[in-house]
Amino acid sequence: MPLVLDTGPVLALLDADDRHHAACLAMVRNVREDLVVPAPVLVELDYWILKRLGPAVWQVFVEDVVEGGYRLHHLDEKDLVRVAELERAYAELDLGFVDASVIVTCERLRETKVATLDRRDFAAVRPAHCEALTLLPE
Protein backbone atom coordinates (compact mmCIF):
# COMPACT_ATOMS: atom_id res chain seq x y z
CA MET A 1 0.00 0.00 0.00
CA PRO A 2 1.24 3.50 -0.71
CA LEU A 3 1.38 6.40 1.72
CA VAL A 4 -0.35 9.45 0.22
CA LEU A 5 1.35 12.71 1.21
CA ASP A 6 -0.14 16.15 1.68
CA THR A 7 2.07 19.23 1.33
CA GLY A 8 3.01 19.68 5.00
CA PRO A 9 4.83 16.40 5.58
CA VAL A 10 6.85 16.70 2.37
CA LEU A 11 7.89 20.22 3.34
CA ALA A 12 8.81 19.01 6.82
CA LEU A 13 10.89 16.17 5.37
CA LEU A 14 12.86 18.66 3.29
CA ASP A 15 13.43 21.15 6.13
CA ALA A 16 15.51 19.85 9.04
CA ASP A 17 14.52 22.97 11.03
CA ASP A 18 10.79 22.30 10.66
CA ARG A 19 9.19 21.40 14.01
CA HIS A 20 7.56 18.36 12.36
CA HIS A 21 10.74 17.12 10.65
CA ALA A 22 11.61 14.36 13.14
CA ALA A 23 8.05 13.02 13.31
CA CYS A 24 7.71 12.98 9.50
CA LEU A 25 11.10 11.33 9.06
CA ALA A 26 10.16 8.63 11.58
CA MET A 27 6.82 8.18 9.83
CA VAL A 28 8.32 7.45 6.41
CA ARG A 29 10.91 5.14 7.95
CA ASN A 30 8.23 3.22 9.86
CA VAL A 31 5.70 2.79 7.06
CA ARG A 32 8.25 1.63 4.44
CA GLU A 33 5.75 2.19 1.66
CA ASP A 34 5.79 4.03 -1.64
CA LEU A 35 5.45 7.75 -0.98
CA VAL A 36 2.73 9.06 -3.29
CA VAL A 37 2.42 12.77 -4.00
CA PRO A 38 -0.79 13.84 -5.75
CA ALA A 39 0.21 16.10 -8.66
CA PRO A 40 -1.74 19.14 -7.34
CA VAL A 41 0.42 19.08 -4.19
CA LEU A 42 3.39 20.07 -6.38
CA VAL A 43 2.06 23.59 -6.84
CA GLU A 44 1.74 24.23 -3.09
CA LEU A 45 5.03 22.53 -2.44
CA ASP A 46 6.85 24.63 -5.04
CA TYR A 47 5.40 27.81 -3.53
CA TRP A 48 6.40 26.98 0.06
CA ILE A 49 9.81 25.57 -0.78
CA LEU A 50 10.77 28.61 -2.84
CA LYS A 51 9.39 30.97 -0.18
CA ARG A 52 10.99 29.24 2.83
CA LEU A 53 13.89 27.14 1.63
CA GLY A 54 15.03 28.31 -1.80
CA PRO A 55 15.39 26.85 -5.29
CA ALA A 56 18.17 24.42 -4.35
CA VAL A 57 15.75 22.51 -2.08
CA TRP A 58 13.14 22.41 -4.85
CA GLN A 59 15.81 20.89 -7.11
CA VAL A 60 16.58 18.25 -4.44
CA PHE A 61 12.89 17.35 -4.28
CA VAL A 62 12.62 17.10 -8.08
CA GLU A 63 15.68 14.84 -8.16
CA ASP A 64 14.12 12.68 -5.43
CA VAL A 65 11.00 12.29 -7.59
CA VAL A 66 13.04 11.41 -10.68
CA GLU A 67 15.07 8.85 -8.70
CA GLY A 68 11.92 7.19 -7.36
CA GLY A 69 11.87 8.55 -3.82
CA TYR A 70 8.35 9.80 -4.46
CA ARG A 71 5.74 8.59 -6.92
CA LEU A 72 3.44 11.16 -8.54
CA HIS A 73 -0.28 10.47 -8.84
CA HIS A 74 -2.08 12.35 -11.60
CA LEU A 75 -5.77 13.12 -11.52
CA ASP A 76 -8.04 12.20 -14.39
CA GLU A 77 -11.37 13.77 -15.36
CA LYS A 78 -13.35 11.49 -13.03
CA ASP A 79 -11.06 12.47 -10.16
CA LEU A 80 -11.54 16.14 -10.97
CA VAL A 81 -15.32 15.72 -10.73
CA ARG A 82 -14.89 14.02 -7.34
CA VAL A 83 -12.60 16.84 -6.15
CA ALA A 84 -15.31 19.35 -7.02
CA GLU A 85 -17.90 17.23 -5.17
CA LEU A 86 -15.76 17.24 -2.03
CA GLU A 87 -15.14 20.98 -2.27
CA ARG A 88 -18.88 21.56 -2.54
CA ALA A 89 -19.78 19.11 0.24
CA TYR A 90 -17.23 20.62 2.62
CA ALA A 91 -17.57 24.26 1.58
CA GLU A 92 -17.70 25.36 5.22
CA LEU A 93 -14.15 24.04 5.67
CA ASP A 94 -12.86 25.91 2.62
CA LEU A 95 -11.29 22.55 1.77
CA GLY A 96 -9.58 23.67 -1.43
CA PHE A 97 -8.42 21.86 -4.53
CA VAL A 98 -5.15 20.48 -3.15
CA ASP A 99 -6.60 18.95 0.03
CA ALA A 100 -9.55 17.53 -1.89
CA SER A 101 -7.16 16.02 -4.45
CA VAL A 102 -5.21 14.33 -1.65
CA ILE A 103 -8.44 12.76 -0.37
CA VAL A 104 -9.45 11.70 -3.89
CA THR A 105 -6.03 10.11 -4.36
CA CYS A 106 -6.59 8.12 -1.16
CA GLU A 107 -9.98 7.05 -2.50
CA ARG A 108 -8.57 6.09 -5.91
CA LEU A 109 -5.75 4.05 -4.36
CA ARG A 110 -8.06 2.62 -1.65
CA GLU A 111 -5.62 3.95 0.95
CA THR A 112 -7.02 4.48 4.45
CA LYS A 113 -4.18 6.58 5.82
CA VAL A 114 -2.77 9.92 4.79
CA ALA A 115 0.31 11.90 5.79
CA THR A 116 -0.85 15.40 6.69
CA LEU A 117 -0.27 18.11 9.25
CA ASP A 118 -3.76 19.51 8.55
CA ARG A 119 -5.78 17.76 11.24
CA ARG A 120 -8.85 20.00 10.96
CA ASP A 121 -9.76 19.35 7.33
CA PHE A 122 -8.63 15.76 7.00
CA ALA A 123 -10.32 14.66 10.23
CA ALA A 124 -13.62 16.18 9.15
CA VAL A 125 -13.88 14.74 5.63
CA ARG A 126 -15.48 11.31 5.18
CA PRO A 127 -13.93 9.62 2.15
CA ALA A 128 -16.02 7.34 -0.05
CA HIS A 129 -13.99 4.19 0.63
CA CYS A 130 -13.69 4.18 4.43
CA GLU A 131 -15.25 5.69 7.55
CA ALA A 132 -12.30 8.04 8.13
CA LEU A 133 -8.68 8.40 7.15
CA THR A 134 -5.96 7.59 9.66
CA LEU A 135 -3.85 10.73 9.96
CA LEU A 136 -0.08 10.38 10.10
CA PRO A 137 2.23 11.22 11.72
CA GLU A 138 0.44 10.39 14.94
Percent of the chain with pLDDT over 70: 100
Instruction: Say if CB 89 and CB 108 are below 8 A apart.
Output: no
Residue type, position 93, single letter: L
Query: Could you tell me the residue ranges of all domains in the chain?
Result: 3-136
In the chain, which residues have pLDDT < 70? none
Are 6 and 116 spatial neighbours (Cβ–Cβ below 8 Å)? Answer: yes
Question: Between the CA of residue 70 and those of 34, 39, 92, 94, 122, what are the distances in Å?
Answer: 7, 11, 32, 28, 21
pLDDT at 42: 98
* pLDDT at position 13: 97
> Cα 71 vs. chain centroid, distance in angstroms?
12
Class for the domain spanning 3-136 = alpha beta
pLDDT in tens, 64-95: 999 999 999 999 999 999 999 999 999 999 99
Indicate the burial class of 69 (C-beta count within 10 angstroms; 0-12, 13-18, 19 or more).
middle
